[in-house]
Amino acid sequence: MRGSRRQTIVDVAQRAGVSKSTAARALSNAPEISPATRDKVLAAARALGYERNHLAVGMRSGRSGMLGLVIPDIANPFWAEVARGAQDRAADAGASLLVFSSDWDHDREARHLQALRQARVEGVIINPVADSFDDLHRFGLPFVLIGSSAERFPDTSSVGSDITQAVRLGLDYLLSMGHRRPWLMLGPRWRIARARFLRAVNDHCLERDVDPASLPIEDGEYTVEGGHAAMRRILEKDRSGHICVFAANDLMALGAMMAARDAGLNCPEQVSVLGFDGIPGGAFSWPGLTTIEKPARALGRRAVESLVDEIAGRADHSRIYLPCRLIERGSLADLSDAAVGSRQSERV
């Protein structure tokens, strides 16, 4: 009875009236199989609901049709969007994608890489946790790096957001809105993403004859809870009036907005918040989160394209920077001279 067991290549061959090897070659689109035989085998496979076991095929041929992706935090919507973009592009290339989350843990990352090698994937995309990349080099897999950590490996193919451009875009926008001394809500000191963000801030300030030390900093975790706790500390320190925060990711920004609301403050009337990442959830906060959007899905898609080039031996081992864009919503007050003057004239 159909459905009582998984259909095999033997079942397909018997239904099509050909040998097992002929059926296998027909399903692999081998050139020596005639169109009539191939059509007959494909019709038999469809009738039986047969699905090829790509892992078994890979073990025999040395190719699995599978790619690996190791991201640091699948719970962060930004990385989920990266995975979605990678999955879509892998499907376009006729490949499947195995996704693992390292949770910023080196040992877990190493176990994932080992599992991917045992699964005979053809290559791996990874946001590395460790400073050493001996794991991948030892496994001998083609790989492409993504994220901020990839800058530590300049001789390796990598894809990332243009953080320098993004930070400059955010700071210039804040200045145009009258926020000359925003708080910088950054991540843990051990994370290279924090160093990259801060380096971009320093370079931007120096180019505009602004002392980078004039911008106050509050560190936290890259989570909603981390942003909430960091914002509480900012509110305890800053009694100067309107508070503006430029958060290093959207989860922190959303946590900061929650903390302001919990303290009885209104956003953006008393507290302005600018995010960084462009996760979908920012559109549904109240008010909507103004943010610098990193192209998460495009990053995932481009990483797969680079990995395919690596596998084919045509990679140039360069870093690809993808531009970011500003998304304006409602979490930033306009304190520019023009806006303030307009509001005063309206009251007269």
Model confidence pLDDT, tens digit, residues 94-134: 899 999 999 989 889 989 988 998 888 999 999 988 655 66
In whole angstroms, give the CA distance from residue 319 to residue 159: 6
28-40 pLDDT, tens digit per residue, is 777 788 989 999 9
Output the DSSP codes for 80-106: HHHHHHHHHHHHHTT-EEEEEE-TT-H
In whole angstroms, give the CA distance from residue 231 to residue 218: 8
Average model confidence (pLDDT) across the chain: 88
Model confidence pTM above 0.85:
no
First-to-final CA distance of the chain: 85
Q: Of all residues in the chain, what percent carry a pLDDT higher than 70?
A: 89
Q: What's the confidence (pLDDT) of residue 284?
A: 95
The DSSP letter of residue 289 is: P
pLDDT at 50 over 50: yes
Q: Are strands 66-71 and 271-277 parallel, antiparallel or unpaired?
A: unpaired
Mean pLDDT lowest for which of 35-39, 174-178, 182-186? 35-39
User: Is residue 159 very low, low, confident or very high in pLDDT (cuts 50, 70, 90)?
Assistant: very high
Residue 179: its H or E element:
none
Say which residues have a Cβ less than 8 Å from residue 126's Cβ, sequence separation at least 6: 68, 69, 70, 71, 109, 113, 136, 143, 144, 145, 146
pLDDT at 58 over 60: no
Structure tokens given for 96:
């499947």
Q: What's the confidence (pLDDT) of residue 133?
A: 64
Give strand ranges (E) for the chain: 66-71, 96-101, 124-126, 143-146, 158-161, 183-186, 217-219, 243-247, 271-277, 290-293, 319-322, 325-327
